[in-house]
Amino acid sequence: MEPDQLKNWLSLLLTIAWLLPLGGFALEIFAGFWSTRLKKTAAYIAVGCIGAGFVCSLTALCSWGMHTGYWAEHDYLTKFFQETPLGGDHAPADGHAADGHHGSEHDAHHDEHSAHGAEHGAHGHEHDESKYPTVFAGRYYQLAEFGSLQLEIGYYIDSLTLVMFTMVTLIATCIHVFAIGYMSDELTEDYVDHFVHVGEGHLHRPGRFYRFFAFLSLFSFSMLGLVIAGNVFMVFIFWELVGICSYLLIGFYTERKSASTAANKAFIVNRVGDFGFLIGLMILWTSFGTFAFSEPSAEKAAENPGLFQMLRDDHGQMTVEIADDGSHQVVLTGPEGTHKTIPYYLLVAAGIGIFCGCVGKSAQFPLQTWLPDAMEGPTPVSALVHSATMVAAGVYLVGRFYPMFTPEVLVTIAYIGAITLFMAATIAVVATDIKRVLAYSTISQLGYMMLSLGVGGWVAGLLHLITHAFFKSLMFLCSGSVIHGCHHEQEMPKMGGLRKKMPITAYTMLIGVIAITGLAIPGTYFGFQFAMSGYHSKDAIVATSLAYWGLNDQHVLLFILPLAGAGITAFYMFRLWFYTFAGEPRDQHIHDHAHESPAVMWVPLVILSFFAIFCAYDGEQGPLWGLLVHSEPAGMDHGFDPAAPGQIAVPGHHHVHEKMSGDATVHDVAGRYALAVAIAGAILAYLFYGARLLNPADVRRQVAGLHEFLVEKWRFDELYDAMFVKPVHVISGWIAALDRVVIDGFLHGTSKAAVDVSTWDRRFDEQVIDGLVNWVGDRTFRVGRSLRFVQTGRLRQYVMFIAGGLFGVLMLVYILTL
Amino acid sequence: MNDPIILLSAIIFAPAVGALILSVFNKEAEEGMRVFALITTVVTFVLTLMLWNIFDYQDPQMQLQVSVPWIKAWNINYQLGVDGISLPLVLLTSLISLLAMVASWSITKQVKGYLILFLLLETGMLGVFLALDFFLFYVFWEVMLLPMYFLIGIWGGPRKEYAAIKFFLYTLFGGVLMFIALLMFYFGSAGGEVGSTFDILRLQKIGQGLIPGVEFDGMTQMIAFWLLFVGFAIKVPTIPFHTWLPDAHVEAPTPISMILAGVLLKMGGYGILRIAFPICPQGAQAAAYVLVLIGAASIIYGAFAAMAQTDFKRLVAYSSVSHMGYVILGIAVWKVSDGSTVGSDYWNMGMNGAMFQMIGHGISSAGMFFMVGVIYDRVHHRDLNKFGGLMGLMPLYSGLAVGIFFAGLGLPGLCGFWGEAFTVLSAWNYSPILAIIAAAGVILTAGYILWTIQRVYLGPEYKGPHPEAITPINMREFSVALTLLIFAIAFGIYPESVFGMMRESTTLLVTNLSNTVNSGLEFAGNIIQ
């Protein structure tokens, strides 16, 4: 296939995969009208759409691999079947050339990494010799155009997009199938909601099976749109759409006050993050004039370069100048090679702004509070939306938008991630609701991903995104199976010993637990590695942290916190497993009624556990790592030297594989530490909850204050309630009063004044003016009346008057003329 | 029909003719009168579609111009025309009028008078959007006022007299200010070979310094701009001139609320775009910061006020104040530095965003008021704390309502998003601080809309009076709601459908105004024609 054909083929496949769930939604939402509530038709449509989407995505991934020669070049399958046993620690050490397919090439540069090899194209591992670009980008249609400013709906397909598509559709298909079983009690005309009390009894309502699948389909569409988005504005659009789908799904049980409140909280807290996102977008839009990531075609890029191309050169370097006033300025390469500068702090602000959106979506500190509450949604939703896909979108965006982040932004990301992973892990230790433990675990693992991206472990972070998606969705579905089997009981203190009742659930869950804690036997035996996916990804993260610390001494916490977190993770995950599945039952009633779930629910568990074990097979030599490396931003393989103004170095691949002590590389050392604390955590959990040799109640009593602090989730909810929610209501009350009292008061005052004035006017009219007129009239009348007596009608008398008058006048004239 | 004077006059006066014919109907034939009035609005809508059909997207100038002397002694003409700024609003007006007429079936009191006033109102609105003579514009502006006064004052709720008078006085006050500006322009335009004129296009050229020998100096422009702006801002409404709106909406019957929010508010924005900015560019430029400030403040103020309301309709009314803030914000982001316009593409984007916001808000707010009306017709109260559980009782209605409220929330993929997003994105170029303030509106908007949805539609049971009256939405109501939702989705998915219509005209406006300031009052050559 020619590159253009391949581009059309890939975009066609992914577009179909993307739009099918939307079509499904349009059908399913009306299923209440064209079908009955008792049929599973809507579910079959939804599964069909997302399943077909998975087939399309997988086909796209394979076509991409075949036609770009990627599979042939790496030949993972042959490698897998060669079964060449390698001994002990040798394998990770061999990972010195771990940059995947370009290992040898990079080796050559290890000593002169700052020189930045010239052969690296705009996208890091661009195949200069290959005719296939790393990225296929194009547009579906234009949203708007204002002079030189253009906004469009487009696509941006690289290996990361393909991997994400395949992962999302695969997990979504499993969860859709699982939900057919889990939601089957909605297949009724009379669903009794035991959590809602109306009058004397429980709420009765018609089942809403079809609606659940309609929302799931809409979510799948939105999520895939977010992944395929060709520009950051389109990401923002679908960002909001996944948010609203999450709102609809969390609030699926609309009658429950707790559910609708949690849904509101999720959306509004996310909007707080999106507020920052929007500010970031404003800065970028005004400074760069485009939202496109990058334009693969060189001719088009010269005319309309994307954001990455404007900011960085082919080697991933930005140009920073010092202006006359001493401020740092970033040089942007505009269309036709023109240059302009923007202040460095603006770029940092834009990066922080975009990251705020990610903080909200990925439930990072300080916006983590919505995710635990989001567990009000049905468990398949928690598995799909709130662990595997949507909440990982923040991490995905950080990864996708990586070239736009300066080292100062990256270190912020790393600290947010580190704080989050530690804090959430500590809360998970005391949580007793099985889903909440998993929710905090999700937050914590997302923190790991953020940390990894922040310290320069781009591939490690995104690898963890993929592996986590598999094992966490697996564990959520297992917890769903438990909840389903125990008739909606979620409190672990009422469980125990369930492994005999539901063995498949218990052991698939154990796979998930081992995967997340990263327990493994390092090395390869008999051609196999006894390590699950989580081991590889977590190791890579901790190793990058260690390398980062090596380059930046002051950031020791960025290594300590994830290491401590690894131990806590092992503790709370094994605590969960032992609590639920091991030992004697704590509540006999629940135990008696517990049962293994039907096949429609456990088959997805088995499929997911397969991927939880193998998806990151062979770690840094494996296919998934290699696929991700293919999309790595330019310059990441070498890392970045400390640069003004932050003077922060970012480690490259070789830093992670440098010799540290003796023969062991940084990666080995970090791996050993991580494994050691994980084993310690697991053993501790076994002592407390498995063997029950230690009594957790004793410890709880000894640190009662701390325990309460953790149970209260570090008191964030109270804090935000006091800081934001209440003030907003108070201010809105004031403003409404301002309208009523001040503005309308002024108006009413004015109108009253007008009425008063006219009243006075009337009175003045009536009393003064009319009074005067009347008085004059009255007087005249009276004078007339009095004069009437003079008017006698006798002629003689009149002649007398005339003569007297004439005399008087003459006298007057005489006197005056004297 | 291709003669513009016939088509444009037909559009304006078709409803008036309908009203005239209605007056000879028998008072008892209510159903017949309703159907006849509905046909009249349908005919008007079809006429506007014909106008749309012959409208040329690529031509930025005023199209289909008509000018017939009306009052010769004063040089007043019957002058009409349409361009990319007025056409979307004309289409919106005829559409919303049509839908409001369908919604008017719920009016049972003095049907004949109601329908006649309704149709006269439509004539006034269409006339405002099509008039190109300032005096004619003013006449239509006032013509629209009286029917509205009676429609609120007679068919309104318990405090209808208060609301009607408040509406009337507010608007009249604005009208008086506009009239002063009108006289200033008339006597100020005396120079040149034409003499004093009310011709808006000519006044625009004079204001932009394109007519030799006659000009409006800076002071005149400043005073005239503020007179006009306050007049139009009352209509928009922006703070602090907005308090007539909640009262008028709360008391007005549902269809009138739909028209009020859907169309009447847009006249303010339209007046600013058509008259205030082009005729007084210097005044506008000098006032830009205050305008952007007013816009941003309205967004926040309206959102906070909405959050505190317990009356469903009042909440929606305040959301209008908040949403119309984006219109003022987008229009005014005209950044000038060192005597030349900076980033005119961003300003153009803001103006387009403002225009889109008017259209989008026309759809979503009409829809929201309609949805409030549907439930009010059943249970006869609007207390937000006495609803709940409607999702279970009226699932179809609730689904449509939630969709329309999401449009009001500014969700991407629905019509409310583009206006908000584009105005806010364009605002950074003008003032980062004000842009951030405006952007904060997204949080508050989400807050009050979601809280409202929770209180009205979610929850286990309905808590208010008349639970027995809650019946599923009927076909008539369904068709109105569905039409609005379809438009909301269509504009949301493909905004270019609206932007394409107005792009050339707004670009021309932005270019002309930029040139005016760039060249001071020197003649910038014949850029217009």
Share above pLDDT 70 across residues of chain A, in percent, rounded to a whole number: 91
Q: Indicate the residue of A149, A237, A244 with minimum beta-carbon distance to B349.
A: A149
Q: How many CA atoms lie within 13 A of A677 on its CB side?
A: 19
Element housing A96 (H / E): none
Measure Cα distances from A92 to A106, A545, A560, A563, A618 in Å: 17, 17, 22, 19, 10
Q: What is the mean pLDDT of residues B504-513?
A: 90
Task: Please check whether residue A615 touches B, CB under 8 A.
Answer: no
Residue A315: helix, strand or coil by DSSP?
coil
Ramachandran bin of B123, using left for φ above 0, alpha for ψ from -120 to 50, beta for the remaining angles:
alpha
| C-beta of residue A144 within 8 angstroms of C-beta of residue B422 | yes
d(CA A673, CA A38): 54
d(CA B501, CA B506): 10
Written as one string, the DSSP assignment of A758-798 is: HHHHHHIIIIIIHHHHHHHHHHHHHHHHHHTTT----HHHH
Task: Please check whether residue A735 touches B, CB under 8 A.
Answer: yes
The predicted pLDDT at position A524 comes to: 65
Bridge-based pairing state of the strands A328-333 and A319-322: antiparallel
Residue A155: helix, strand or coil by DSSP?
strand
Closest to A52 in 3D by CA, of A217, A181, A178, A163? A217
Please tell me the distance in Å from A152's CA to the nearest CA on chain B.
Answer: 10
The predicted pLDDT at position A90 comes to: 39
Q: What is the mean pLDDT of residues A642-656?
A: 82
Share above pLDDT 90 across residues of chain B, in percent, rounded to a whole number: 48
Q: Quick: pLDDT tens for B172-203.
A: 888 889 999 988 888 888 876 677 888 888 88
The predicted pLDDT at position B519 comes to: 55
* Cβ-based contacts of A728 with chain B (< 8 Å): 304, 307, 444, 447
The residue length of chain B stands at 529
Please tell me the distance in Å from A181's CA to the nearest CA on chain B.
Answer: 24
Closest to B135 in 3D by CA, of B188, B75, B198, B229? B198
d(CA B426, CA B352): 10
Structure confidence at residue A150 as a pLDDT band (50, 70, 90)? confident
Of the candidate ranges A609-618, B299-308, B332-341, the one whose mean pLDDT is the lowest? B332-341
Is the predicted pLDDT of residue A597 greater than 50, yes or no?
Answer: yes
The predicted pLDDT at position A82 comes to: 57
Is the predicted pLDDT of residue B271 greater than 50, yes or no?
Answer: yes
Q: What is the mean pLDDT of residues A145-168?
A: 90
Tell which wins on pLDDT, A795 or A588.
A588
| C-beta of residue B304 within 8 angstroms of C-beta of residue A729 | no
Contact A148 B345 (CB under 8 A): yes
Closest to A417 in 3D by CA, of A452, A388, A393? A452
Task: Please check whether residue B340 touches A, CB under 8 A.
Answer: no
The predicted pLDDT at position B526 comes to: 36
The predicted pLDDT at position B528 comes to: 36
Q: Residues 300 to 319 of B: which have CB under 8 A from any A CB?
A: 301, 304-309
CA A461, A466, A471, A473: dihedral to nearest 10 degrees? 120
Contact B503 A267 (CB under 8 A): no
Q: What is the mean pLDDT of residues A383-399?
A: 90
Measure Cα distances from A509 to A140, A474, A505, A611, A674 in Å: 42, 7, 6, 13, 22
Q: Indicate the residue of B169, B304, B349 with minimum beta-carbon distance to A146.
A: B349
| C-beta of residue B313 within 8 angstroms of C-beta of residue B263 | no
Q: Quick: pLDDT tens for A490-538.
A: 888 888 788 888 888 889 999 999 999 888 777 666 666 677 888 888 8
Q: What is the mean pLDDT of residues A122-145?
A: 69
Instruction: Name the β-bridge partners of A330.
Output: A320, A342
Q: Kindly list the domain boundaries of chain A, sorted by start residue.
A: 1-68+132-364, 406-711, 718-772
d(CA B402, CA B364): 11
The predicted pLDDT at position A91 comes to: 38
My answer on whether omega of the bond before A92 falls inside 30° of 0, hence cis, is no
Closest to B231 in 3D by CA, of B282, B158, B170? B170
Q: Indicate the residue of A197, A247, A278 with minimum beta-carbon distance to B424.
A: A278
d(CA B473, CA B481): 10
* Cβ-based contacts of A145 with chain B (< 8 Å): 496, 499, 503
Is the predicted pLDDT of residue A127 greater than 50, yes or no?
Answer: no
Contact B412 A241 (CB under 8 A): yes
ipTM of the complex: 0.91
The residue length of chain A stands at 818
- Amino acid identity of residue B335, one-letter, is K
Task: Please check whether residue B161 touches A, CB under 8 A.
Answer: no
Q: Which residue has the tokens 């290996």?
A: A159
Of the candidate ranges A396-400, A539-543, A791-795, B184-188, the one whose mean pLDDT is the lowest? A791-795
Q: Quick: pLDDT tens for A84-95.
A: 444 333 333 333
Share above pLDDT 90 across residues of chain A, in percent, rounded to a whole number: 28
Q: What are phi and psi of A433, to 5 degrees?
A: -75, 125
Please tell me the distance in Å from B411's CA to the nearest CA on chain A.
Answer: 7
Please tell me the distance in Å from B40's CA to the nearest CA on chain A.
Answer: 34
* Cβ-based contacts of B240 with chain A (< 8 Å): 743
Contact A283 B406 (CB under 8 A): no
d(CA B146, CA B152): 10
Q: Which residue on chain B is closest to A202 by alpha carbon?
A: B460
Q: Residues 428 to 487 of B: which have CB under 8 A from any A CB?
A: 428-429, 432, 435-436, 439-440, 442-444, 446-447, 450-451, 454, 457-461
Structure confidence at residue B484 as a pLDDT band (50, 70, 90)? very high
Task: Please check whether residue B418 touches A, CB under 8 A.
Answer: yes
Bridge-based pairing state of the strands A659-661 and A650-651: unpaired
Q: Residues 230 to 249 of B: which have CB under 8 A from any A CB?
A: 240, 242-243, 246
Q: Quick: pLDDT tens for B147-172.
A: 888 888 888 888 888 888 888 888 88
Is the predicted pLDDT of residue A99 greater than 70, yes or no?
Answer: no
Would you tell me how many other CB atoms lie within 10 Å of the CB of residue A644? 10
Rg (CA), chain A: 38
Written as one string, the DSSP assignment of B3-60 is: SHHHHHHHHHHHHHHHHHHHTTS-TT-HHHHHHHHHHHHHHHHHHHHHHHHH--TT--
Closest to B9 in 3D by CA, of B78, B110, B106? B78
The predicted pLDDT at position B65 comes to: 86
Structure confidence at residue A123 as a pLDDT band (50, 70, 90)? very low
Written as one string, the DSSP assignment of A514-551 is: HHHHT-EEEEEETTEEEE-HHHHHHHHHHHHHHHHHHH
Q: Indicate the residue of B344, B418, B428 with minimum beta-carbon distance to A282.
A: B428
Would you tell me how many other CB atoms lie within 10 Å of the CB of residue A789? 7
Contact B454 A261 (CB under 8 A): yes
Contact A143 B417 (CB under 8 A): no
Q: Quick: pLDDT tens for A166-189.
A: 999 999 999 999 999 898 888 888
Inter-chain contacts counted by CB atoms under 8 A, chains A and B: 147
Tell which wins on pLDDT, A118 or B274.
B274
Q: Residues 6 to 35 of B: which have CB under 8 A from any A CB?
A: none
Task: Please check whether residue B422 touches A, CB under 8 A.
Answer: yes
Would you tell me how many other CB atoms lie within 10 Å of the CB of residue B72? 8
The predicted pLDDT at position B527 comes to: 36
Please tell me the distance in Å from B52's CA to the nearest CA on chain A.
Answer: 20
Q: Which residue has the tokens 């920073």?
A: A320
User: Chain-wide mean pLDDT for chain A?
Assistant: 84
d(CA A293, CA A309): 8
Q: What is the mean pLDDT of residues A218-223?
A: 93
The predicted pLDDT at position A102 comes to: 41
d(CA B38, CA B99): 9
Q: Kindly list the domain boundaries of chain B, sorted by start residue.
A: 4-518
Tell which wins on pLDDT, B328 or A34.
B328
Task: Please check whether residue A2 touches B, CB under 8 A.
Answer: no
Residue B62 token pair: 């005023």
Please tell me the distance in Å from B397's CA to the nearest CA on chain A.
Answer: 13
Measure Cα distances from B15 to B78, B86, B252 in Å: 18, 19, 21
* Cβ-based contacts of B461 with chain A (< 8 Å): 198, 203
Task: Please check whether residue A37 touches B, CB under 8 A.
Answer: no
| C-beta of residue B52 within 8 angstroms of C-beta of residue B87 | yes
Bridge-based pairing state of the strands A639-640 and A659-661: unpaired
Element housing A156 (H / E): strand A149-157
d(CA B322, CA B237): 9
Q: Indicate the residue of A279, A281, A743 with minimum beta-carbon distance to B243.
A: A743
Q: Quick: pLDDT tens for A401-460.
A: 999 998 889 999 999 999 999 999 999 988 888 899 999 999 999 999 999 999 988 999
Q: What sign does the dihedral A109-A113-A118-A120 (CA atoms) show?
A: positive
Contact B305 A739 (CB under 8 A): yes
Q: Indicate the residue of B389, B392, B439 with minimum beta-carbon distance to A279.
A: B439
The predicted pLDDT at position A78 comes to: 63
